[in-house]
Amino acid sequence: MQPITHTGALSPWAPGIFSLTVFTVAILILISVLLFLSAWLGEKKPGSEKGRPYESGIIPTGTARLRYPVPFFMVAIFFLIFDVEGAYLFSWAIACESLGWAGWMQISFFIFVLILGLIYIWVKGGLAWGPTSKRE
């Protein structure tokens, strides 16, 4: 793979800044034209029924703000943590040969810290989402 020179960066035939700029401008123009046409040609019949949120045919009552239980947020946070971990592990797996033993030690330390965090969450009761029975 050869580096892009300054003369080639603005060339319309080589991938570079010029083609990216032309593509971005073309997309922005297309989006603007489509939004203008839909606002201009669209039918406008305002009414109370059109302003009401659609809830599968059920007339909404009360506020839309519901309090979610804490375990819902715990699941979301655990998903984010382990999703990021998966991204690191997949990228390490692709580059493991070129990283060598140093990369293996670094990813092992990363996994060790994550396991320590999981044990900490477990000990603190972060994984106990159901009702707990207290024995007295």
pLDDT digits (tens, 9 = 90+) for 74-108: 778 888 888 888 888 898 899 888 988 999 999 99
pLDDT category at 37 given cuts 50, 70, 90 is very high
Find out whether 18 and 26 touch, Cβ atoms under 8 Å.
Answer: no
Say how far apart CA 93 and CA 87 lie, in whole Å: 10
pLDDT category at 11 given cuts 50, 70, 90 is low
Instruction: Give DSSP secondary structure letters for 92-135.
Output: HHHTHHHHHHHHHHHHHHHHHHHHHHHHHHHHTTTT--SPPPPP
Q: What is the CATH number of domain 7-124?
A: 1.20.58.1610
Find out whether 85 and 114 touch, Cβ atoms under 8 Å.
Answer: yes
Asked whether the predicted pLDDT for residue 38 surpasses 90, the reply is yes
Tell me the three state secondary structure of residue 4: coil
**Residue 7: its pLDDT value, please?**
59
Say how far apart CA 91 and CA 65 lie, in whole Å: 39
Share of the chain above pLDDT 70, in %: 80
Higher pLDDT, 63 or 109: 109
Query: What's the distance, CA 69 to chain centroid?
Result: 22
DSSP 13: S
Sign of CA dihedral 91, 92, 94, 98: positive
Say how far apart CA 114 and CA 83 lie, in whole Å: 12
